[in-house]
Structure 1
Amino acid sequence: MAKPEFEFFPVADVEFTPCDGVVPELTERVLARDEEAGTATRILRFAPGTDTTPNGVQVHDFWEEVYILEGAITDLRLGQTFTAGQYACRPPGMKHGPWTAPDGALTFEVRYRTRAGDGS
């Protein structure tokens, strides 16, 4: 199964829901999801004061592209802060995070696989 087909719709009609993990300040608005592949397009919201340290360093078996729409996030492992207007493209296996967002942030993310089942 692939992500569903959608024509334009108001993104605000999709509620923010808790993300996987144990950080309640981290929520997502899933715009499209392929349950079978475990991939999605989403808006990720870091509430002010978010610290994802309890979730640890993240590593995925899929591609992830992230564009920061608002605010700033700091990668604690790298000791670097990234701000609105910046973009990341992470191949499968790339380590990232944990993150803090003292003033909050909003990102747009696309997660996908380029070949069925192999994560690349």
Structure 2
Amino acid sequence: MAKPEVEFTATSSVEFRPCSPPIDGLWEAVLARDDANGAVTRILKFDPGTDTSPVGVLTHDFWEEIFIIEGSVTDLRLNQTFSSGDWAVRPPGMEHGPWVSEHGARMFEVRYYQNRD
């Protein structure tokens, strides 16, 4: 099944739930999901003081596109802070994180697998 058809909808209507694996202060609101191919569109929320160090540096087998809507996060590996208006495109296998968000942040994220055809 493809992602559902959704007309403009308030993001406040989507409940934030703990991310997997759970990290204190890290939440996701899934806006659309395609269970057949693993594609996900979500809003990621960092509460003030969130630290993702317990999961370490991340890599994954999907593409990830991120846009920071508000707030900021500091990449501890790069020792660099990124804030609202910054964006990233991460291909499969790219190392990223861990992060700390001193004051909190919200990000728009799209995950997908590239067609191999």
| TM-score for the superposition, normalised by structure 2 | 0.94
| Partner in structure 1 of residue 21 of structure 2 | 21
Secondary structure in 2 aligned to 1:54? helix
1:13 maps to a residue whose letter is S
Q: Output one character per residue of 1:61-94: Cα deviation in whole Å (capped at 9) or x when no partner.
A: 1110000011110111111110111010101111
Give the conservation status (yes or no) of the 8 Å contact 1:71–1:106: yes
Per the TM alignment, residue 21 of structure 1 is displaced from its structure 2 partner at its CA by 1.4
What is the Cα-based RMSD across aligned positions, in Å?
1.4
- Give the 5 Å matches for 1:80-119: 80-115=80-115
Partner residue in 2 for 1:35 = 35
Instruction: State how 1:64-79 maps to structure 2 within 5 Å.
Output: 64-79=64-79
CA contact (8 A) 1:22 1:54 kept: no
Verify the 8 A CA contact 2:38 2:113 in the aligned structure 1.
no
- The alpha carbon displacement at 1:22 in A equals 3.2
Taking the aligned partners of 2:83 and 2:9, their CA distance within structure 1 comes to 27
Q: Counterparts of 2:39 and 2:54 in 1: how far apart (Å)?
A: 23
Question: Which one is further off, 77-86 or 1-10?
Answer: 1-10
SS at match of 2:54: helix
Identity %: 59
Segments of structure 1 that go 5 or more residues without pairing to the other structure are none
Provide the aligned length of Structure 1 versus Structure 2. Answer: 117
Q: Aligned AA for 1:29?
A: A
Gaps of at least 5 residues in structure 2 are none
Letter of the 1:84 partner, please give it.
Answer: S
